[in-house]
Amino acid sequence: MFVFAPPAQTVIPVWGREKELFPVRRIFCVARNYADHAKELGEKNQAPTFFCKPTDAAFYISEKELGEVPYPSATQQLDYEVELAICIGKGGSDIAVQDARSHVWGWAVAIDFTRRDLHNQAKAAKGPWDSAKAFDFSAPIGSVRPVDKTIDPSETDLWLYVNNERRQHGNSRDMIYNCDELISEISKLWTLQPGDIILSGTPSGVGPVKPGDVIEAGVNGVGTIKFKMV
Ligand code: MN
């Protein structure tokens, strides 16, 4: 018996079939996966850098209503990063690039929220990124769009608006490591499992938000989310 109630399974509804739920296992993220974003951070391209967020950082935002996301503690600079999320349905290790797509169950739009002030301090100290990246509610995410219900998002636009002003606009074709390569690389380091989610990086234009701001983000053909910071 459990000594206290175990945590509820984090789930994300499936697009168009809201009674069907995608159970989240782990959240992998890649840093600097678009050259223009690496440049704005003043960093050079290199081998992919992966980090993780806890499962329950994934916070579902329905595309049917304005969501609310709590502004986190302990930061003066909370940056948005719009990203294409790869939702894994079939696990594996050492997955070949040409086989990677068969492991994808669906796609979603997500935000990789970052306490940029803590992120800059961590990078300067060569310390871990957890407090900058892996905090509560740090990954708002829309419904999971099954692979057979959408386009191949390898060459699609992703965008983000703050208070109706466009801040980010990029295209997934400009990823340094594309989705198939990310799946392959991550599977060399971890055995991927069904329910794992990979946030595939953000294009340029990242910047801060404050309580009261309304954020709208999307990946064309995959989904949109809209929420207010509270
Ligand atoms: Mn990111």
**What would be the CATH architecture of the domain defined by 13-229?**
Alpha-Beta Complex (3.90)
How many angstroms is it from 4 CA to the middle of ligand 1?
34
Tokens of 53: 């967020």
Report the separation in Å between the CA atom of 83 and the middle of ligand 1, taken as the mean of its atom positions. Answer: 7
Q: Is the separation of the CB atoms in 88 and 66 below 8 Å?
A: no
Cα of 204 vs centre of ligand 1, distance in Å, is 11
CA of 104 to the centre of ligand 1 (A): 20
**Structure confidence by residue, pLDDT tens digits, 17-75:** 979 999 999 999 999 999 888 788 877 667 899 999 999 999 999 999 999 999 999 99
HSE at residue 196, side-chain half, CA atoms within 13 A, is 21
The reply to whether the predicted model has a pTM over 0.95 is yes
CA 50 – ligand 1 centroid, Å: 10
What's the CA-to-centroid distance between 110 and ligand 1, angstroms?
10
The reported pLDDT for the residue numbered 157 is 98
The rounded Å distance from CA 139 to ligand 1 centre is 10
Residue type, 34: Y
* pLDDT one-digit tens code per residue, 155-192: 999 999 999 999 999 999 999 999 999 999 999 999 99
